[in-house]
Amino acid sequence: MQRIVACLAGIAALALAAAALAGPAPLSAYGELPAIEQLAISPNGQLLALEMVKGADRTVIVQDLVAKKILTGVNVGQSKLRGLLWAGNNHVLLEFSSTTKVALVPSNVSEYFTLTDFNLTNHKLTPLLGDVNLSMNAIAAAPAIRMIGGKPTILATSLYLGGEVQDEGDVWFYRNRLALFRIDLETDRSRLVSEDSTDTVGFVVGADGQPAAEATYEPLVKRWELKVRSGGGWRVAQSLDAPIDTPDLMGLGRDGRSILIANLQGDRKVLQEVSADGATVSDPLPGPAGGAPIDDPVTHRLIGTVAYEGDDLTYFFYDRPEELQWLGILAAFPGQRVSIVSTSDDRRKLVLRIESPTDGPGFALVDLANRSSQWLGSDYPALTSADISEVQSISFRAADGTRLTGYLTLPRGRDPKNLPLVVFPHGGPAARDAPGFDWWAQAMASRGYAVLQVNYRGSEGLGRKLLTAGYGEFGRKMQTDLSDGVRYLAGLGSIDPKRVCIVGGSYGGYAALAGATIDTGVYRCAVDIAGLSELGKFIAWGVSRNGDGGALAERYWLRFMGAKDPNDPVLRAISPADLADKVTIPILIIHGKDDTVVPFEQSQMMADALAKAGKPYQMVILNHEDHWLSQSDTRLQMLQATIDFLEKNNPPD
């Protein structure tokens, strides 16, 4: 037995040595867009729509699952396809987005979302809402799909310019407002259903296709209201003061008539049901805090919720048969992370996303009636198990005793001692890192780096207490939480504290710049992708873009940044562009010209400040790229520039 074990150990060692000799997979295997971006199964469970990506091109393919052949398809080129969903069994809705420059200001670009009907009967593509006068023909929320008179009908929320005319001296103009339109997919014609107030922020559509609820928010007076449909008008069901945190409209409740809202209650965000007449509000519903609703695809009533509980993605169903069905699905994929992507109307066929710790993410089709499953394809087919690094959950205490969690990705084939480290903070900041495959972290690990992802205070999805602990800690304890993670790993001997760099995007980009200007002495280099550098100007930019709604955005950011207003001197103390003279390490700045979340000028201001201070930096401009790195070529350009910079300034060997 000992000889067999020794032989197996020798074979394993040879396999590792062979993998090391073969070298890592090319960066394109990690950095190009996933081969399968989106999937959706038809209501009858017979057809499957897939968005396939190859190079810079996207193609929507419709497969016949019964005949096991491709039924039709359309190449959408480099258009950014953001959503893919069925409306009946003969229409696939394609949700696109595009950027447009506004008001002749180079940094002022906006992202617009539009709907297109892909009619499988005549194989035609028809843009929707194009027949609406005084409208931007763009959607402002995910469309609701309802069967009315046996026909699929779309209820789309759009920005409407009609209804109220303002007289400002010699200038007449229309006030923008959200409106609800009904679209008949047989004719692709639109009809205005509801446009009640310039303060409207969202609608809930009933199963009958009629507006059931509307939420309004007046940012200047900080007032949120929920209105329910009552007869031919609206009745106020709830009204409350909400300086920053407003309740969210989530859909229909468990009876299919009540209105589901997500509301803050103490230190938790809970789901509650408001009765159809607006008279009562339920106690918090059972299920994980902060859960996203799962709706029945036919009745549209609430049947369950899904949320992260720590490292686990938890599905909670209100009906016992649904719960048992889900437990059976999980048992079929032991040791893997499973989530629901799409279901047939009878919920007997499900498209699942499967994340394997050894083989990466992909998709499977499960047929509960036949008790069978079918592998549909991998997100990253060019990667093998030898190209995927281990991800470990970690927990440590910050300097002030706050318990923090995160993830450490370890490079394959290397002894986990004295490793070079990349600190990789997430964006947001009110977001979180989760366990599982992260293409960016895996790419850096493939080049020999350990990668640390910390859910610092201010992160969301790990309890309200951790989120609120970040208020006022922008550039302060939110920043030192990252370097406390470095010190924790150094204390374990896992990493070499003299070989640490920081890489991040969005807020993570700000954290990278703050690591070079505020929490100094920790990092050898920093890579900022689309990060904030001048906080007061960033807030002012957001206010200018959002009209009255800018007041809410301003209050949101000031709460995190711990400032009274955009001119508060405290912001200069945590703005990297104002601290460029403190930089002692090389910095790489990367930014897309079409960014609508953090304006490109934020990176230009940082570059100008570094140049004026005579500090070392490089800048890479991603043409025609947005905040989310939606294009394969520029996403790969970013990754290649990042790895080249890391290997130059913090060699892995």
Give dist(CA 451, CA 485) in Å, integer. Answer: 11
- H or E element at residue 94: strand 91-101
Phi and psi at residue 439, to the nearest 5° = -60, -35
Residue appearing with tokens 């807020």: 507
Give dist(CA 474, CA 215) in Å, integer. Answer: 31
What token pair was written down for 644? 């080249």
For the chain of 653 residues, list the mean pLDDT of each consecutive stretch of 10. Answer: 34 39 86 96 98 93 95 94 96 94 62 94 93 83 94 92 53 66 93 84 94 93 92 88 93 97 88 93 90 96 94 94 95 95 97 94 96 95 96 97 97 95 97 94 98 97 93 97 98 98 98 98 98 96 81 93 95 98 98 95 98 97 95 96 98 93
Residue appearing with tokens 């258009």: 79
Phi and psi at residue 626, to the nearest 5° = -100, -170
CATH homologous superfamily of 389-534+575-649 equals Alpha/Beta hydrolase fold, catalytic domain (3.40.50.1820)
Give dist(CA 298, CA 429) in Å, integer. Answer: 36
pLDDT at 22: 64
Give dist(CA 482, CA 404) in Å, integer. Answer: 10
Query: Is this model's pTM higher than 0.95 or not?
Result: no
Q: Are 62 and 73 in contact (CB under 8 A)?
A: yes
CA 560 to each of CA 143, 204, 477: distance values in angstroms, whole numbers, following the listed order:
32, 31, 11
Instruction: Transcribe 301-360 into DSSP letters.
Output: -EEEEEEEETTEEEEEESSHHHHHHHHHHHHHSTTSEEEEEEE-TTS-EEEEEEEETTTE
Q: Which amino acid is at 436?
A: G
Give dist(CA 197, CA 178) in Å, integer. Answer: 8
Give dist(CA 501, CA 586) in Å, integer. Answer: 10
The H helix count followed by the E strand count for the chain is 11, 37
Q: Are 445 and 437 in contact (CB under 8 A)?
A: no
Phi and psi at residue 70, to the nearest 5° = -75, 125
Give dist(CA 70, CA 329) in Å, integer. Answer: 27
Q: Are 348 and 365 in contact (CB under 8 A)?
A: no
Q: Are 304 and 316 in contact (CB under 8 A)?
A: yes
Domain boundaries, the chain: 32-126, 128-195, 198-295, 389-534+575-649
End-to-end CA distance of the chain: 38
pLDDT at 473: 97
Q: Which amino acid is at 607?
A: A
pLDDT at 178: 87
Q: Which amino acid is at 72?
A: T
Indicate the burial class of 403 (C-beta count within 10 angstroms; 0-12, 13-18, 19 or more).
Answer: exposed
Give dist(CA 617, CA 49) in Å, integer. Answer: 45
CA 337 to each of CA 39, 341, 394: distance values in angstroms, whole numbers, following the listed order:
18, 13, 18
* CA proximity to 510, closest of 584, 577, 422: 577
* CA proximity to 455, closest of 537, 395, 514, 515: 395
What token pair was written down for 184? 């008949």
Give dist(CA 500, CA 419) in Å, integer. Answer: 9
Q: Return the CA Rg of the chain.
A: 26
Give dist(CA 63, CA 70) in Å, integer. Answer: 4
pLDDT at 110: 85
